[in-house]
Amino acid sequence: MASIATAGLSLLLLDSCTKDPIKHLSDDDSRIYITNYDSTVHFGAFSTYSISDSVAVISNGQLKDKTLSGADASLINAVKDNMQQRGYQLVNKDNNPDIGINVNKVISTQTGIISYPSYWGYYNSYWDPYYWGYGGYDYYFPYASYAVYQVSEGALSIDMVDLKDAGANKQIKGIWNGLIRGEAIFDNANAAVQVKALFDQSPYINSAN
């Protein structure tokens, strides 16, 4: 599948002397918008679409749940608004839509272990053997010191698939994907502006083309 990826980034002019400039980014500035599409597809050949009635929660590659919170509904409605503006008609999924759209929350969690072999020796000054009546004694732990960490990352993904030719080819082909990463991407108040940003990067999604 031929595709073109486009990333939308907010650029800031930062003082070169600033320490850790990422801390000064607003939620809006932290977001990255990535769109990817099949350049062989003529989006003007489609006229109708259907969208899932809930948001899929995908954790580490597995579908875990389908939800419809207020924020989820706002995301779905934002997609509908942008599709309508591009000239596409919303139909029921049983009415043979040309395009199918899924909205997903993608969660990736990684767990690891870090060893701190010199931790206790380094922080000797924080422990006072005299307090316990053992002045002059050294102390140690007869095992390595480890820390377990867990990092979770989240993203919003909107996928378009070609349902028009699915029956003929016995395959469902993805034709467009929009991905959002950054701070507060799951907030209700940000749904409309985030979805619009993806569509703004994708002028080829237009039934009049």
Q: Under a CB-based contact definition with an 8 Å cutoff, are residues 192 and 199 in contact? A: no
The predicted structure's pLDDT at residue 58: 87
d(CA 129, CA 126): 10
> How high is the pLDDT of residue 18?
42
The whole-number pLDDT of residue 26 equals 60
Q: What are phi and psi of 128, to 5 degrees?
A: -115, 95
Q: DSSP string spanning the chain?
A: --EEEEEE-------TT-SSGGGG--HHHH-EEEEEEETT--GGG--EEEE-SSEEEEETTEEEEEE--HHHHHHHHHHHHHHHHTTPEE--TTS--SEEEEEEEEEEEEEEEEE-TTHHHHTGGG--GGGGT-TT-----SS--EEEEEEEEEEEEEEEEE-TTHHHHT--EEEEEEEEESTTTT-GGGHHHHHHHHHHT-TT--TT-
Q: What is the pLDDT at residue 115?
A: 58
Q: On the CB side of 170, how many CA atoms lie within 13 Å of its CA?
A: 0
Query: How much is the pLDDT for 11?
Result: 31
pLDDT for res 171: 75
CA distance 139 to 123: 12
pLDDT along the chain (209 residues), means of 10: 40 38 58 92 96 91 90 97 98 93 87 55 49 58 55 84 79 90 91 96 94
Question: What are the chain's domains?
Answer: 3-9+29-109+153-200 (3.30.160.670), 113-147 (no CATH)
